[in-house]
Amino acid sequence: MAVRIEDRLTARTAPGTARRPTVGSSIRFLLLLFFSILVLIPVYVLIVTSFKGQGDATAANAWNLPTQWIVDNWKNAWSGSVAIPAQAPGVLRSIALVVPASLLSALLGSMNGYVFAKWRFPYSNLVFTFLLFGMFLPYQAVMVPLVELMLSIDILPSGIPQLIFLHVVYGIPITTLIFRNYYTSIPQELIEAARVDGAGFFRTYRSVVLPNSVPGFVVVLIWQFTSIWNDFLFAVFFTNASNGPVTITLNNLAQGSILANYGASMAGALIASFPTILVYVLLGRYFVGGLMAGSVKA
Amino acid sequence: MHRFFSRYGPPIAMVAPSVILIGIFVYWMIGQNVATSMTDIHTAAQASGAQPHTFVGLENYTALLGSDDFQHSLKNLLLYTVVFLGGTLAFGFVWSWLLDQPVKGQAVFRSILLAPMAVSFIAAGVVWRWLLNSNQGESASGLNRLFQIVGLDFLQNNWWNNVSWGISAIAMVAVWQMSGYVMAMFLAGFRGVPDELREAGRVDGATGWQLYRHVIFPQLRPVALSAVIVIAHMSLKAFDLIMSISKAANYQTKVPAIDMFLFKGSYDYANAATVGTILLGIVAILIIPYLVHVSRADS
């Protein structure tokens, strides 16, 4: 379903629809230009400030370009200095978090989606609803006992391993929903044909459903990748600056020092955002697909 | 019986791990949380079990809901939600409308307007903390300085550093981040209007604005409702942006999620759990009628 909506998004932008510019389209163009500039103001500040030296950091120079473009802020933000906590360890821990967590939750979602779309059992709709409600859970409503519970089970080391587990668990509702909607579009005849050929439940999943799942996996992986990379709430309750992901180390950099070092903070913010922006630029079409699925019903 | 298992055994086995995990980590945890909220665990000694605690019923709820402090948080949450909802719906709708018809640079504009939501609230908070610096006049930087440069000095203000309205400055940042999301939803809505309907409208003599007003906009109602639910739900969990732009200890920008964090940090587990349950209650009031409405519309 997510993918179908994506088709709709691009459907009417096909080349050949461009007409001679009218007054209406010129006004629309200027308005869009205006809004785009407004939206990009913070991006200008981020980039420009990250290249400014201490001398440029005065209020009067706030909106000027750097008198001298320097990369010290970037170096310091990445590998740290006396007053600036390094972002590199946080970035590496975020990668170690996000890769297994997104893969595992996509796999789990795919398995669940297959059952709820193609292999229903008595009361399966009720079970599906039972899972789905987890999507609306404000995590504050479970955090106190959850922290206690994770402390008491010592199978999982604290830090990134616990976060992987938690993101996989709380990702179940959304990934199940996206895959169920996606698999509904696989023709039932395909499943029946496999069954006639003697393929059982698992064979059908492996040889018919999985090979047809690539777009579904792309949408789910992007969705989970960006939301886990950007998560702060679980990170702040289950990790600290020495074993947490980049959202924690970045917040530590930006809020930690008494005298705010905006140059290094903004370089750090750009470093921390680089992977999600890259995913957005390269796979933006699917990104929108994930967003739509995240809105439950579009 | 054997038949049942050979037929339904494998699918049930496949979803069983998820069902068990959600059972424990959503439903059982909610139960535990409600139980904790009905105790008097207000100190570290009680939280660790070194000192006993007792059952106090709904005492924490009445005390919290009656306190000026928490009412301030709820008022902030309401203001945040109103600004966040109003802003994202207005921008999202206008942007998608502008992009609904062919216009030069359509794909580029769409990407730019959607881009802010690819970054985390924490990263966005870094730059917005600088932009929302409350200094004015000579020492102004950030947006206040920009207002001076473009000659709109009168727009200078304290931003989030204001007890009554400060939270709406944070909500403004959330609007910046999430309007693109709502735009994408409305764009899908516009694209979902069948071409025959547009044609029929044109045949009936509806032109430009009339076509939108009477034929297309009414078709967008379900999308608008989804957007309201998604944004309101996000709003209730407002936390990251406040932590990164202001900070947890700032009274001006306190909301329930921040209270919960502070209570938890000071080992006041009972009040932390109470705030969590109150948030869950608000979400339920919002979501359950919506889900009922959607499932009715489906069947």
Size of interface A-B (CB pairs under 8 A): 286
Instruction: Measure CB to CB from residue A230 to each of B11, B120, B149 and give the nearest one.
Output: B120
CB B184 to CB A277 under 8 A?
no
Instruction: Place A26 in a pLDDT band, splitting at 50, 70 and 90.
Output: confident
Q: Are residues A104 and A71 in the same domain?
A: no
Q: Is B149:A63 a contact under the CB 8 Å cutoff? A: yes
Residues contacting A102, CB < 8 A, separation 6+:
A220, A221, A224, A225, A228
Does residue A209 fall inside a structural domain? yes
CB B103 within 8 A of CB A18: no
Position A248 scores a pLDDT of 95
Whether residues A178 and A51 fall in one domain: no
> How close is the nearest chain A Cα to the Cα of B168, in Å?
18
Confidence band of A5 (pLDDT split at 50, 70, 90): very low
Token pair belonging to B160: 């989030």
**CB count in 10 Å sphere of residue B10:** 17
CB contact under 8 A, A116 and B15: yes
pLDDT the model gives residue B16: 94
**Are A101 and A241 members of one domain?**
yes
Q: Tell me the per-residue pLDDT of A165-218, one tens digit each, with 9 for 90 and over.
A: 999 999 999 999 999 988 988 888 888 888 888 888 888 888 888 988 888 899
Residue A99 scores a pLDDT above 90: yes
Contact indicator for A200, B7 with CB cutoff of 8 Å: no
Assigned domain for A204 exists? yes
Inter-chain residue contact B280 with A28, CB threshold 8 Å: no
B11, B208, B294 member nearest A119 (Cβ) = B11
Q: Of B286 and A161, which is predicted with more confidence?
A: A161
Q: What is the pLDDT of residue A208?
A: 86
In this structure, the answer to whether residues A45 and A161 fall within a common structural domain is no
Of the partner residues B8, B107, B185, the one whose CB lies closest to the CB of residue A292? B185
How confident is chain B (299 residues) per 10-residue block, as mean pLDDT? 78 93 96 95 88 90 95 96 96 93 87 90 91 84 87 86 89 95 89 84 81 86 88 89 89 94 95 96 89 75
A150 CB neighbours in chain B (<8 A) are none
> pLDDT tens for residues A214-249?
888 998 998 899 999 999 999 999 999 999 999 999
Residue with tokens 């706030």: A62
Q: Are residues A46 and A190 in the same domain?
A: no
State the burial class of residue A16 (Cβ atoms within 10 Å of its Cβ: 0-12, 13-18, 19+): exposed
Chain B partners of A236 at a C-beta cutoff of 8 Å? 243, 261
Confidence of residue A4 (pLDDT cuts 50, 70, 90): very low
Name the residue in chain B with its Cα closest to that of A28.
B98
Q: Please indicate whether, in this complex, the C-beta atoms of B122 and A121 are within 8 angstroms of each other.
A: no
Measure Cα distances from B216 to A169, B12, B100, B189, B207 in Å: 40, 44, 11, 9, 12
Give CA A17 to chain center in angstroms: 33
Residues of A in contact with B280 (CB under 8 A): 137-138, 140-141
How large is the angle between the packed helices B106-114 and B166-192, nearest 10 degrees? 140
The pLDDT value given to residue B158? 85
Neighbours of A258 (CB within 10 A): 5
Greater model confidence, A111 or A25 = A111
Residue A13 lies in a domain: no
Hey, are the CB atoms on B18 and A288 less than 8 Å from each other? Answer: no
> For testing the chain B interface, which of A1, A19, A39 should be mutated: the one with the most B CBs within 10 Å?
A39
Predicted local distance difference test score (pLDDT) of residue A146:
96
Please say which residue of A40, A75, A110 terminates a domain: A75
Determine the pLDDT at residue B148.
87
Structural domain contains residue A39: yes
CB B80 within 8 A of CB B235: yes
Give me the pLDDT at residue B64, please: 95
Answer yes or no: do A153 and A207 share one domain: yes
Report d(CA A21, CA A108) in Å as an integer: 50
Average pLDDT value for residue range A97-120: 94
Residues 6+ apart with CB under 8 A from A136: B233, B283, B287
Q: Do B17 and A144 lie within an 8 Å CB cutoff? A: no
* Same domain membership, residue A96 and residue A71: no
Whether the predicted pLDDT of A265 surpasses 50 = yes
B contacts of A181 (beta carbons < 8 Å): none
Q: How many domains does chain A have?
A: 2
pLDDT of the residue at B113: 93
pTM of the model: 0.90
Together in a domain, A279 and A217: yes
How near does any CA of chain B get to the CA of A15, in Å? 10
Quote the mean pLDDT of chain A.
Answer: 85
Closest partner CB to B18 (pick from A35, A139, A172): A172
The residues, ordered by sequence, that sit 6+ positions from A155 with a Cβ below 8 Å of its Cβ are none
A244 and A167 within one domain: yes
Identify the CA nearest to A45 among candidates B227, B128, B297.
B128
d(CA A264, CA A94): 19
pLDDT for A257 equals: 60
Helix B121-131 with A246-256: angle, nearest 10 deg: 20
Domain-embedded: residue A169? yes
- Categorize the per-residue pLDDT at A281 as very low, low, confident or very high, splitting at 50, 70 and 90: confident
B244–A40 C-beta distance less than 8 A: no
Sequence-separated (6 or more) residues with CB below 8 Å from residue B37: B60, B61, B270, B273, B274, B276, B277
3 state SS of B181: helix
Residues in chain B within 8 Å Cβ distance of A42? 116, 124, 127-128, 131, 176
Average pLDDT over residues A273-298: 72
CATH code at A247?
1.10.3720.10
One domain, residues A176 and A213? yes
From A75, A96, A111, give the residue that closes a domain: A75
CB A250 within 8 Å of CB A132: no
B235–chain A nearest CA distance, Å: 11
Find the domain containing A42 and state its range.
19-75
DSSP summary character for residue B51: S
CA B107 to CA A33: how far, in whole Å? 12
CB contact under 8 A, A35 and B269: no
Question: Is the same domain home to A31 and A170?
Answer: no
Q: How far apart are CA A9 and CA A154, in angstroms?
A: 47
Q: Is B103 in contact with A28 (Cβ distance < 8 A)?
A: yes
Residues A67 and A106 in one domain: no
**Residue bearing the bigger pLDDT, B60 or A82:** B60
Task: Please give the share of chain A, as a percent, with pLDDT higher than 90.
Answer: 47
Mutate which: A32, A132, A151, A270, vs B, most B CBs within 10 A: A32
pLDDT 10s digits, A13-22: 444 444 556 7
Cβ atoms of residues B255 and B69 within 8 Å: no
Please indicate whether, in this complex, the C-beta atoms of B30 and A141 are within 8 angstroms of each other: yes
In Å, how far are A250, A285, B38, B39 from B117, measured between CA atoms? Answer: 18, 14, 38, 40
For residue B194, what is the DSSP state?
A: -
Residue A83 lies in a domain: no
Task: For residue A11, tell me if it sits in a domain.
Answer: no
> Does A80 reside within a domain?
no
